[in-house]
Chains A and B, each alone.
Chain A
Amino acid sequence: MKQNRFFQIVGLMLILAFFMSGLTFAQKSPKDKFDFPKLNDIKMPKIEEKTLKNGMKLFLVEDQNYPTINMRAMVRTGSVYEPAEKIGLAAITGSVLRTGGSKSMTGDEIDKKLETMAASIEGGIGSGSGFLSVSMLNENLDEVLSIFADIVMNPVFDKEKIELEKVQHRSGISRRNDEIGQITRREFFKLIYGANSPYARHAEYATIDAITRDDIIAYYKKFLHPNNIMMTVWGDFKTKNIVNKLEQAFADWKTKKLDIPPMPEVNYKFEYTVNFIDKPDVDQSNIMLGHIGGLKSNPDYAALSVMNRILSFDRMFKTIRTDEGLAYSVWGSYGTGYKVPGVFSAGAQTKSQSTVYAIELMIKEMERMMAEEVTDEELNRAKDKYLNTFVFQFDSKAKIVNRMMTLSYYGYPLDFNDKFIKQIENVTKTDILQVAKKYLQPDKVQILVVGKKEDFDKPLSSLGKVNVIDITIPEPKVEVPEATAETLEKGKKVFEKTIATLGGTDKISKIKNFSTTMSLTQVTPMGEMAMDGNMTIQHPDKMYMKLNTPGGEILMVINGDKGTMQHPGGKMPLPAQQRKDMMDNSKRDPIYIAQHLNDYKIQFIGKTKFGEADAIDILLIETDLTFHMYLNTETMLPLGTSHQGTTQQGPATIEQFDSDYKVVDGIKVPHKSIGFADGKKQSEVVIKEMKFNVELEEGLFKVE
């Protein structure tokens, strides 16, 4: 009996336990269906909109959780408003506004003062807007606010800081062709918007050089006005209190009538083009193809966004990267802007041997998008990613208030994102097919390939007529005094004397080639490096050079528009820029000039000093080549040349000093040449032996 009862109780407990476990919940495996509870409501913080007396528009949100205060201002300006001949003006103004100091403090003093308070103020101007951002501990509000106001109201644009900024821009220009991704993006945007469009153009040495302090001040005066600024303020403060402080800090800053035109229009013409940029030193191609995109205000924006996800992740990424294993990275995206149409682009980085194949696949994926509906799975996955991450747009007051300002800046409704997410929910497979058909134009894409064409799987011409883009960086323009008939006549006469001194036209015209044995010293960042070598040149466009360097033998051959370089690490085509530099060097050789006298314009400049020597300065121009030559006033022998060129540090005045003239076959030849860039020694060549009209070894100039 007792036992029975025991079992009854145990049984009851077991049943109870069973029920209880059923009443609570059982574990779910990751792939089970989850019943997600309803997400708690997004709490919208109270954002106050105020306008200061001087017209500065404020969006404020209190957040007493942390004792910090941040501000972010947007200024209606942008590089689209800078003149074409002064590209870089907006960017330089934006940074020197901060670094150049104010009437009461230098930029360095401001740095130190802010650091002492653990505060920061930064500024910059982009293509369609300018920004200023401030962060601080709330205990430093008054001090930081007064520095901030001082910077924007009383900047001095210190000359030294302007120069520093220019140096950085110049070195940026000199290095802009180093990285293949940067080249691809930059040139692709030029294809879409137009090379001279304010949305794609970029600075050159000449445009940076053209910028003066007065330009910067004028630019500042045109745009930096309180009624042209919107600013968010968030953190630990009382709104009323901080508005008063801001009112006071900017009290002396007056409203001004603004004269800012609307953003320039984009007029796009759909066309199919194939473009190529030669980058012989890579084994991967960078590809971008596409056409103009659209605006966020487009009613189809939500459907386009879902299509984007599918095209990029489910299609391009999966077929080209995962299935075909072709590329390290690949994407496709219909880009949108607030005010300016974005760009639709698909891109890939792939090994050279699959360049054309990858392009064909990308276009095929665009076509597939337009030909058939996406699957339910693709649709849901793409929509889920949008819907489920949407809440993260509201996870901080800073994000919320700054988005509000951005929407307001571009004249969008403040509930734009909420409407967008509702539209996302309603996107159907039919919608996606429709927008794909409406907006994608795979037969009218512009294709850009940057890479090494020798290794492509198929010639690019199999895709259509290839337009080769030259990305040579234009050297800064040289100030040339205006030529007159008189100075040209005189220049020619002077140089004829030089020809006579060198050995005379007869002898010079008989030179077909020459060969030298030499020693070369190169100054590198690590110190001087000495090398022996020999060189054979056949004007105008054939060169063979062999150098014995500490790292092994280097062989360089140029033949017409081809060139190679072979070093212990391997063989590679000679970059176009280096080939051009070498050819230009030949064209500065007095013997070459004497042989092609009619190709040159020679202008007499006057008497000058070249190094220590008295010299006659003549200016020589041959198509796009301009340089000075300096002649010894007594002997008329060339002392050397100078021109504006580029080194790895950016543009520089490059000078070559020739000396130690010796007679070879009746012709005077300098046996020593020293090269300088901006007064710093770069290289020295001493000729040990020189011969004219040597018998050329067969295949010496052969380039494979």
Chain B
Amino acid sequence: MNPKKFKTLLVILTCLLVVSSISWAQNFDAMKNQVKEHTLKNGMKFIVLERHDAPVVSFHVYADVGSANENYGITGISHLLEHMAFKGSKVVGTNDYEAEAVIFDQIDKLYANIKNEKGKAEPDTAKLSELEAKFEELRKQAKEKVINNEYFDMMMQQGDAGVNAYTSNDATQYINSLPSNKLEFWMSMTSDRFMNPVIREFYKEKDVVMEERRLRSETQPIGKLFEDFMATSFKAHPYHHSVVGHMSDLERITRQDVRDYFKKYYQPSNLTAAIVGDVKAKKVFKMAELYFGRIPSGAKPEPVRTIEPEQWGERHVAVVAKSQPILLLGYHRPAETHEDDAALEALANIIGQGRSSRLWELLVKNEKVAIQAGSMNGWPGSKFPNLIAFYGVSAKDHTSAECLELIDTQIEKIKSGDISEEELTKFKRSQKKGIINGMKSNSRMAGILTHYDVIHGDWRKTFDQLKGIEGITAEDIKRVANKYLKKKNRTVGEIIPEEEAD
């Protein structure tokens, strides 16, 4: 091809690219204009995006509370509360709430007595077994009043195709998807759920959560590393502890603790709902007034007070476990709302995401010192200052020290500004595709809208994501790399195989 022709082609291609970006931006704007919001007097906010392609609708209720809101003694309570939210209300999940309530009080007193007796220097075993027998008897009585799984059954019978919930360090989210004519049913079920929650099957569910902790954190080498890594990286901020919480706290959390926590953090002013699908915003707001407007308003909980102080030097943490060596490097970075966020995302992407990323190519494909290598960003949460992290899982007969050395060379390269145009394009395209795919499904879109509204203070920012990414340059990446990827600012964690530890 002669140079002139090539140039023409290039111009055409560039034009095409610009054209497609513009038309897409218009679609974004169009979608943005369709979003409506309404805040009830009690402070609960409803965001609605009408989409009439199919007669279905998805719901996200975002409670602005996660494990970062927990204090010592009640770690894990946000997650436990999410489990309890499926146990029903005064109406759902029970055949006799009044009778149940009496038993709860008795059973809690008994439990306190058992704890008390067990805590004594010389527990009275006869008394203890008597108390335990009574406890079991009461549990049996309580069980008779329970209608097992009724929340799920009722939701599924009405066609819920996506009933679920998540708890993270930052938030607790409740999700449903229903045929769109079931709007009022959802309003009734969900307002009831957050107005009259009943903490039933409490001790059984605590066992389930403790089992979950054993499974996720205690029997998995990587779970152990993550837990100790966070405890080292965050000496003050509550990202310090994991979502699932400490075992001793889980054992000791009481029903009253959960009720108090609910009262504090599930105030309507702390809840945001997004509804995406075949509904009319006006009708949604009217029903929301009727159903959720009943919930009395309360004080908005105080935000997390503690701020992680500046780090004074590189920190180290090691976990001995039955595993191959694993290396983890985490650098402090600001919250998701910070202006450096998009450049940090690019940094994490170029260094460690995908099979043609730098770490994968160098550590796994070329040097073969690792079987896996990559990066994580916005970890463990992103509402507060958090971490950008890199990892390497050593291949047989290789060590974490080798991984560390190679990862460091890549970090230094980026700091010197060695970033190719191809890498930038790859980053931008993959982000763009990710953002677009996220918006396709009603349920994911509802999740994104609540996230932006709560974390960024405005759901409209949902539609600004692309702008932030399109503008990123190699210079931005170099700058944030030099600003954050400093040894003084990092924690080095590793798993040491049991055989190598003394």
Contact = CB atoms under 8 A, between A and B. Distances in A.
Interface of A: 24-25, 27-32, 34, 36-43, 64-68, 111-112, 115-118, 137-140, 322, 381, 384-385, 387-392, 394-396, 524-527, 529
A140 B13 CA distance: 11
Given A139-B16, A392-B161, A395-B442, A40 B180 contact: yes
A389 B194 CA distance: 25
Contacts of A29: 91, 188, 192
**Secondary structure dominating the interface of A:** loop
B426 A118 contact: yes
A39 B429 contact: no
Contacts of B96: none
A64 B212 CA distance: 43
Nearest to B354: A115
A38 B181 contact: yes
B220 interface: no
A41 B54 CA distance: 8
A43 B53 contact: yes
A324 to B, nearest CB: 13
B155 to A, nearest CB: 10
A37 B181 contact: yes
Contacts of A391: 54-56, 159, 179
A30 B56 contact: no
B9 interface: no
B166 interface: no
Contacts of B148: 322
Contacts of A36: 181-182, 184-185
A140 B156 CA distance: 41
B55 A39 contact: yes
Given A36-B182, A65-B27, A389-B159, A115 B55 contact: no
A36 B436 CA distance: 33
Given A43-B53, A68-B436, A116-B429, A31 B17 contact: no
Given A139-B20, A392-B177, 5 more contacts: A29-B91, A115-B355, A115-B426, A388-B178, A526-B324
Interface in B330-385: 354-356
B154 A395 contact: no
A322 B433 CA distance: 44
B207 interface: no
Nearest to B439: A66
Nearest to B20: A139
Contacts of B432: 118, 137
Nearest to B430: A118
Interface of B: 16-17, 20, 23-24, 27, 52-56, 89, 91-92, 148, 153-154, 156-161, 177-182, 184-185, 188-189, 191-192, 278, 290-291, 294, 324, 354-356, 396, 422, 425-426, 429-430, 432-433, 436-437, 439-442, 497-500
Nearest to A66: B436
Nearest to A398: B440
9 contacts: A30-B91, A40-B52, A43-B53, A115-B354, A116-B422, A118-B426, A526-B497, A526-B498, A526-B500
A41 B153 contact: no
B431 to A, nearest CB: 8
A116 B439 CA distance: 22
B499 A30 contact: no
Q: Which of B54, B56, B157, B192 has the largest count of A CB atoms less than 10 A from its CB?
A: B54
Nearest to A323: B148
Contact of B499 (A38, A40, A41, A529): A529
A381 B149 CA distance: 14
Contacts of A384: 157-159
B53 A381 contact: no
A388 B179 contact: yes
Nearest to B286: A24
Nearest to B293: A27
Contacts of B356: 111-112, 115-116
